[in-house]
Structure 1
Amino acid sequence: MFNTQWVRAFTFGTSLVVAAGLCGAAHAQSVFQAVKDRGHVICGASQGTVGFGAPDDNGYWRGLDIETCRAVAAAVFGDKDKVEFVPLSGQQRIPALLSGEIDLLPRTVTWTLRRDANGINFTTPNYYEFTGFMVPKALGVSKVEDMKGASVCVQTGSTTEVVVNDVSTKLSLDLQTVIFDNVAATRQAFFSGRCDALITDAAALASVRATQATNPDDYIIFPATKYMDALTPAVRQGDDQWFDIVKWSIQAMLAGEMYGVTQSNVDEMLNSSEPRIKRFLGVEAGNGAALGLDEKFAYNIIKQIGNYAEVFDRNLGKDSPLKIERGPNRLFSDGGLMFPLVFQ
């Protein structure tokens, strides 16, 4: 079992090397076979970000990343609830994936070159976002150029450490980082006034402001840079079949939206005369067999989870408390970056 205390004793880079070294010996059996034998998928989860991953009042996990994991369970087992969630800090998440503690990491991880080249396969982005700063309005700060000398609460093991240093160097801001090893401590420090600013993905900041601030209107969020990040569920390298299953499970939600297939009409759509929809829902065989899954794996995902628009709206968008605009997370046909691939 993964030792979280051991991880904290090392730097993020060292953890990656050690975990990667364990991979070859520990995972001779395919991930897909191990998942089937176990009877459920084990997914990394956040330590509590409403909208992306957090248990509700009844202890049932909800959020965009959570439903991404449930979509994989629906594809593999025909049951979205055949999952287990392991809450992980930013520092723990990648070593946990590489060491085999989890099968899938859908927990807000940015697709970067060095991660991709060191034991991880990124699947399909499930959220595009910029990195942001949140500061109290009382500071009178509304853009990053105004932050000279500010202290910033940062969670270690995340790309935000790099962003803070890059921004500080580029704009000569002399930003002072205050480093924490878990989400709760980072946020608590910010709201207690230990730091001037909190940095993370802008949607996560919106979630934190809405759910943890005493008065959300007292805080402002603005971009840290002009760059967009692709938050992308990841698997460890070495099992192409598992990589494909996770990738196409996410694609199924995107394709469902493009084809107009929803939770409420998916059964009716089984009778569609449209060839693409027939292939997508498994009425015409071939796609499931290619992945080693039931032919109706995409049907099961839409029936139990819904398409991407439905997942987004209930967790982050118009049907959620956060009311986040889809922006770049719209389909390409609507001016966004989400591009469904071909199910054939």
Structure 2
Amino acid sequence: MSASRATSLRASLGTLLGRPTAVELGAVVALLVGVSAYTVAVDAALDPYFLDSDTALLLVRSALVLAGMGVLTAGYATWRGYSLPVSVPEQDDRRSVAAAVAGTALLALLPFSLLASQTGTGVAHVVSTVADPGGVFTVRTLIRLSLFVPGMVLLYHGIVQGALRHAFDDHRRLTVAVTTLFGGYLAAPTTVTYGSFAGGPWLSLWGDRAAVAVLFVLALGVAVAANRRVDDDRLHALARLPVLAALALAVLVVAVAADSLGGALVVVTRAAVIGVAAVAYDAADSLLVPGAVYATFAVVSSVLYVATLAAAFGG
């Protein structure tokens, strides 16, 4: 390993084990648990039996959830003193935006690869589905996507990436990397779904998933305190062991949720899409760009989902 790379890695580790990181991650986990609780409360109030059969109710539910996310995101950004830019990308950034959108469209194919082989889905099914957009983008689907796209932008780039930017200062690559990994953990589904965004943005932070996230933040806090108060490298290394243990638990929780190769493809795809959106946001500095990424993924996934159903049922 070159001296410059070793220095860069030490700097990144020092940033990760800094007090601002522990504070921001703790606040972010608390916020996202709050979002999960708020969403559950709205669902329980509007649709206690989870029938999901009324379009007007779905619209009200989506509006309330999105409004809550917007208030939390704007409030946290204001409190922490960072902006939420929504400007149109500059001319120089449009190629990178186009590349991100194209890459996302390809990523959307990944979780359907096994399903397509099992159902015999072919190009003809996809073409016939595209030729009938009304069969794909029903009113209910459009309502769900209108919650999914801005919800993903608010949670993963307004809150997560915005907070990490604030904590990491000028370490932009580190911000993108941690956003991708943390986002992949949060977005990993508890049950494998294909092309469905019924619950809005991907966020599974409840039960064991939330407990492990809290344990990680607490372990990070211990490591930070050890770094600040003790001048002994052996104790520093010992204090990092709980952090590594929490990371191992996080991997285990996600692996158990994935359960199969198809589930693993869904988990990897979601993390990759969040990563692409994070890179694009970092490059263009506009929340419109990750919005384009998630919209692309949602549209392509919806088309593939309907095409796969058509193939499975002989359409």
Superposition TM-score tier, normalisation by shorter sequence? under 0.3
- Bigger fraction of residues in helix: 2
- Tell me which protein shows more strand as a share of its residues: 1
Which protein has greater RCO, CA pairs closer than 8 Å, 6+ apart?
2
